[in-house]
Chains A and B, each alone.
Chain A
Amino acid sequence: MVEAVDVVLLLLLSVTALTIIRQRNLFAAVMMAGIYSLLSAGLFVVMDAVDVAFTEAAVGAGISTVLLLGTLALVGHEEREPKHRPMLPLLVVMITGGVLVYGTLDMPPFGDPANPIHHHVAPHYLEESEHEIGVPNVVTSVLASYRGYDTMGETTVIFAAVVGVLLLLARGPGPRRVLTNGRWSTVAREEESPEPQEDDDA
């Protein structure tokens, strides 16, 4: 029964991915990407990784779709016809994919309890978390306590992403330095209209 769900989900994933590749309308492509994320979330649930599925559904299917739609409102809905032929990139992708698949042949069998990954620190986390941390959800105790350093790094990465986006996109108050004809000049910032984004499609 679970196998049938796996097969259906993977099949739908492939169909969605192929549709995204064939799609010239970027609005449809963004929507399909959201569906792709939701399907992957379903796949994570089948693999009992509910925390990951939760994050994938919230971030991949939710926020990412909104941000991509916001981008589309700025850049337009239609992808331009590519000028070059797809043969060389296709060859490169096929070879890379082949090498990657070849690399997985050496990996231990999927889901085997004898795999090395299940005999490193995982048994300690699963058995001692109850006494050491006292939190029923082992995912939380690993994320926030055993691997607290990693989570702090992740939080910092998110903060760094904000700083990067703001440096590139945000328009702060005050005058602004503009480069025109090789010469810097200071211009007053134009008044921000109260509702700059009134696009129907946003």
Chain B
Amino acid sequence: MHDRVILRVGAKILIPFILLFALYVQFHGDYGPGGGFQAGVIFAAGFILYALIYGLGTAKRALPPTAVYVCSALGVLIYAGVGYLTMALGGEFLAYNVLAHDPEHGQEYGILLVELGVLITVFGAMVAIFYAFAGRRKVQP
């Protein structure tokens, strides 16, 4: 796709907005529709668009597969880590009230961290699965 100027320039303009919109969906999830799952998928879609237009090799140089694999595990670790943190602070697993002096603030921090974990895992998962599919060669019949 080296000569498709419209696609290349169009993607270059769109991708920053896609990533920004993903962050909006993530942090606005408390007030409107959206949250970690949707934001992770949209964030991944930005990188997948990049890979589709500029080729898998270029995308893998920008975002190495190892980083993607680490992301997909890191999110689950963050999520479970919040649970263990609340236990260490004397609460129950994933009972966020103990995270701050005011229970409502605790809930807010807890939800923020947990949604961040979901975002990171979903993002890593989507890009990793795309890399795995796109990296295969055509099956010889």
> Any chain A CB within 8 A of the CB of B101?
no
Q: Would you list 20 pairs from A and B whose C-beta atoms are within 8 A, ordered by A residue?
A: A55-B41, A67-B129, A67-B130, A74-B133, A133-B107, A134-B107, A137-B30, A137-B33, A143-B35, A148-B110, A155-B118, A162-B72, A162-B125, A166-B128, A169-B132, A170-B131, A196-B56, A197-B55, A197-B56, A197-B135
Contact yes or no, A74 B38, CB < 8 A? no
Q: How large is the interface on A (under 10, 10 to 19, 20 to 34, 35 or more residues)?
A: 35 or more
Q: How far is the CA of A58 from the CA of B55 in the complex (A)?
A: 22
> Any chain B CB within 8 A of the CB of A202?
yes
Whether A135 touches B45, Cβ cut-off 8 Å, given contacts A71-B133, A140-B29, is no
Contact mask A124-146 → B, CB, 8 Å, 1/0? 00000001111111011101110
Q: How far is the CA of A70 from the CA of B139 in the complex (A)?
A: 12
Which single member of B32, B93, B134 contacts A202 (CB below 8 Å)? B134
Question: What are the 5 A-B residue pairs with the smallest beta carbon separation, nearest first?
Answer: A134-B104, A70-B133, A50-B33, A194-B57, A169-B132
Q: How far is the CA of A202 from the CA of B37 in the complex (A)?
A: 25
Contact yes or no, A197 B134, CB < 8 A? yes
Which single member of A135, A152, A196 contacts B111 (CB below 8 Å)? A135
Residues of B within 8 A of A (CB): 1, 25, 29-35, 37-38, 41-42, 44-45, 48, 52, 55-57, 65, 69, 72-73, 75-76, 79-80, 83, 93-94, 96, 103-104, 107-108, 110-111, 114-115, 117-118, 121-122, 124-126, 128-139, 141
Contact yes or no, A66 B52, CB < 8 A? yes
Residues in chain A near residue B29, CB distance under 8 A: 137, 140
> Any chain B CB within 8 A of the CB of A119?
no
Minimum distance in angstroms from B105 CB to a CB of chain A: 8
Contact yes or no, B31 A136, CB < 8 A? yes
Which single member of A53, A76, A149, A156 contacts B76 (CB below 8 Å)? A156
Chain B CB within 10 Å, residue with most, of A62, A71, A162: A162
Contact yes or no, A162 B35, CB < 8 A? no
Q: How far is the CA of A93 from the CA of B97 in the complex (A)?
A: 50
Give the residues from 51 to 103 in chain A that come closer than 8 angstroms, CB to CB, to chain B. 51, 53-55, 58-59, 62-63, 66-67, 70-71, 73-76
Shortest Cβ distance from A45 into B: residue: B33
Q: How far is the CA of A144 from the CA of B30 in the complex (A)?
A: 10
> Any chain B CB within 8 A of the CB of A165?
yes
